[in-house]
Amino acid sequence: MIPKAAGIASLSFIAFVLLTPAFIWHCKNRNIPAICLIFWLQFVNYNRFVNLLIWSGEDFYTKWNGKVYCDITTKLEAGSSTGKIAAVAALAMNLYMVLDAKHPIFLDPKSWNKRIIDLSICLITPIFIMATNFIIAGRRYVIVRFQGCTTAYVYSGATLGLFSVWTVVWSFFAVLFAGLTIYKYFAIRKDVADILRCTNSGLNLRRFARLLIFSLIVILGVAPVAIYYFVLDAQVYRGPFNWSAIHNELWGNIEYFDFGFVLLYDNFINMGLSVIAFLIFGLGSDAVQMYKSTFHILTLHMFDSKRRQELEMATQIDSLAPQSRINSNKSQFTTSTGLSGSTMQEFDRHYGDLLDDHYNLDSPGTAATTPKYLINSSDLEKGSRSNSPTLSETTAKEFNFMQNEQTDSDEGFGYNFQVKQK
């Protein structure tokens, strides 16, 4: 990737990220025109960033052919230009209706009629352009170096009617409503704050001013470019439209072109509008409060997750601890064994002498190789030795017999001997 392409890709990604706070803030306030406008700006920045990453190298023609992904993004790209200017027109119209204060539908932000009108203005024309875009596309799409997947339109008057003219139409309405809003604002400037408060529009003077300024900036940035491109298209897209000649057997082929690095002015306009949107909406008091709330929630979640991890680790350590690890001064015969004091005294009388000496379980000559077994009696709290005795074979048999006899007679209690191989 050449430095210029890398720079444009970086700026596009930064612009995409900067628009996120404004998009979240307007989603919370359900401002449909502003949501649509910021969505289109985010999309064109994201699409430019991805396309530059994939198709900007010398071997761009051997890269991924973009099937499905390019089919979607080229349609969205076709509707983005009209979508942006239509959203600005809807935003300027809403501001004018609030100042005019004569249309109750536009004064209630929760009115479904108002939402339907906003959605119709913002989405009907872009959806129409995206749905009919394949008619005037000379190919399914082409891949151009530094631009990625691009629609190649046919040279016909149908391209003007189905694509180019709509940006000019909505630019006219955007300029009209913006001019009416400015005129109305200066005509009643002393009463604007009272009107905003009494109309229950959800706007104060500061929010109204931010929306109006942003609308004007977008109009000044988008409308001249839309008119300029329409004039160029009118000079190029001429002649009759022939469906069979355009949509032939080669229509689905994906072709690659390298026209060199071309600085498209609309890229800088979109990035500039994104930065302005962040400065207007992303640094206001409402946005700052949203940042604080988000940071507080993330902090609490982070500490809560850390606390849960510590508790889980402690639980795992406790579960892995050996069951026989107890206090050496404690007996494994606890008060829960259910054995009476006389029973324990009888046990001491019969088997206490077995714990004084070491005996081999087999013949004396195999003492080094014969495994030894430790019998940890938890009741021998006094005078217990660190090394438990080994038992002779006879004594071990006697011990096992007495153990079984005692277990049978005290069924339900259990001695809970722990036998460990030494």
pLDDT at 116 over 80: yes
pLDDT one-digit tens code per residue, 281-301: 777 666 667 667 776 777 776
What pairing do the DSSP bridges indicate for beta strands 373-375 and 419-421? Answer: antiparallel
pLDDT at 124: 96
CB–CB of 18/41 below 8 Å?
A: no
Q: What angle do CA 389, 390, 393 make, to 5 degrees?
A: 145
Three-state SS sequence of the chain: CCHHHHHHHHHHHHHHHHHHHHHHHHHHHCCHHHHHHHHHHHHHHHHHHHHHHHCCCCCHHHCCCCCCHHHHHHHHHHHHHHHHHHHHHHHHHHHHHHHHCCCHHHHCCCCHHHHHHHHHHHHHHHHHHHHHHHHCECCCCEEECCCEEECCECCCHHHHHHHHHHHHHHHHHHHHHHHHHHHHHHHCHHHHHHHHHHCCCCCCHHHHHHHHHHHHHHHHHHHHHHHHHHHHHHHHCCCCCCHHHHCCCCCCCCEEECCCCCCCHHHHHHHHHHHHHHHHHCCCHHHHHHHHHHHHHHHHHHHHHHHHHHHHHHHHHHHHCCCCCCCCCCCCCCCCCCCCHHHHHHHHHHHHHHHCCCCCCCCHHHCCCCCCEEECCCCCCCCCCCCCCCCCHHHHHHHHHHHHHHHHHCCCCCCCCCEEEC
pLDDT one-digit tens code per residue, 237-257: 877 888 988 898 889 999 999
The candidate with the shortest Cα–Cα distance to 210, out of 261, 278, 157, 281, is 281
Instruction: Look at the alpha carbons of 207, 208, 212, 218 in this order and tell me if their dihedral is positive or negative.
Output: positive
Q: Is 234 exposed, middle or buried (0-12, 13-18, 19+ CB in 10 A)?
A: middle
Band (pLDDT 50/70/90 cuts) for residue 103 is confident
pLDDT at 268 over 70: yes
Q: Which of 37-46, 220-229, 254-263, 337-346 has the highest mean pLDDT?
A: 37-46
What are the boundaries of each domain within the chain? Answer: 3-301, 341-421
- Kindly report the backbone phi and psi dihedral angles of residue 421, in degrees, each rounded to the nearest multiple of 5, phi listed first: -80, 130
Q: What homologous superfamily does CATH list for 3-301?
A: Rhodopsin 7-helix transmembrane proteins (1.20.1070.10)
Q: Is 110 exposed, middle or buried (0-12, 13-18, 19+ CB in 10 A)?
A: exposed
Residue matched to tokens 């104060």:
204
Cα distance between the two ends of the chain: 69
Higher-confidence residue of 396 and 184: namely: 184
Residue matched to tokens 């021998």:
380
pLDDT one-digit tens code per residue, 355-400: 444 444 444 444 444 334 333 434 434 344 444 444 444 444 444 4
The candidate with the shortest Cα–Cα distance to 378, out of 324, 420, 340, 421, is 324
Whole-angstrom Cα distance, residue 208 to residue 133? 36
CB–CB of 73/125 below 8 Å?
A: no
**Token digits for 183?**
């005129």
pLDDT at 50: 94
Band (pLDDT 50/70/90 cuts) for residue 320 is low
Q: Kindly provide the b/e burial profile for residues 254-264, where b requires at least 16 CB atoms within 10 angstroms of the residue's own CB.
A: eeeeeeeeeee
**What length does the chain have?**
422
**Token digits for 208?**
């109204």
**Token digits for 278?**
């962040």
Mean pLDDT (whole number) for 162-169: 93
* Lowest mean per-residue pLDDT among 13-22, 130-139, 314-323, 351-360: 351-360
Higher-confidence residue of 269 and 165: namely: 165
pLDDT one-digit tens code per residue, 24-43: 888 887 889 989 999 999 99
pLDDT at 40: 94
pLDDT at 76: 95
pLDDT at 51: 92
